[in-house]
Amino acid sequence: MRWQRALLSLLKERKDHSIALAIDTSNRPERPVLIQNIVNLFEKLRPDTLLVQADFKIRDVSPVGVATIKYFKHGKSSYTEVLEWAARQKIDTLFYITDVTGYFYEELEVDYEVFWLVPDDYMPRVPFGKPIRVA
């Protein structure tokens, strides 16, 4: 329950920020209900949130309340396009649901907040930003 309170607090504290929620769709997650519950939380608290579905490229960007999540089975994931998209859109805070096994261009400059929402018991090291285990 600790991560739920932390996420709730982060969303409330950023009520005046532009935020986006990204989902790594390169593999079907072990806990799809958990992922959907996180999406539902964003929909309820921040219906203006854009949901970005991406694996090695962005597959869909749509309002959080209308998106249908589609997962792929190839396992390839890159964060570069999503991170560049967030910068172009002037997103203040990006929440990224992922196992943090993807890659990105190391020259990429990220000048906004990133929270890695990791739906796994294993917490890998994140390249920047703050990890939150949501398992």
3-class secondary-structure state, position 38:
helix
Per-residue pLDDT band at 1 (split at 50, 70, 90): low
Q: What pLDDT, on the 0 to 100 scale, is given for residue 95? A: 98
Q: Reply yes or no on whether the pLDDT at 27 is more than 90.
A: no
CB 8 within 8 A of CB 46: no
The pTM for the full model equals 0.94
d(CA 32, CA 85): 25
Give the start-end residues of each E strand in 36-121.
50-54, 58-63, 93-97, 113-118
Mean pLDDT of the region 26-50: 90
Per-residue pLDDT of 59-116, as tens digits, reads 999 999 998 899 988 777 899 999 999 999 999 999 999 988 888 887 888 999 999 9
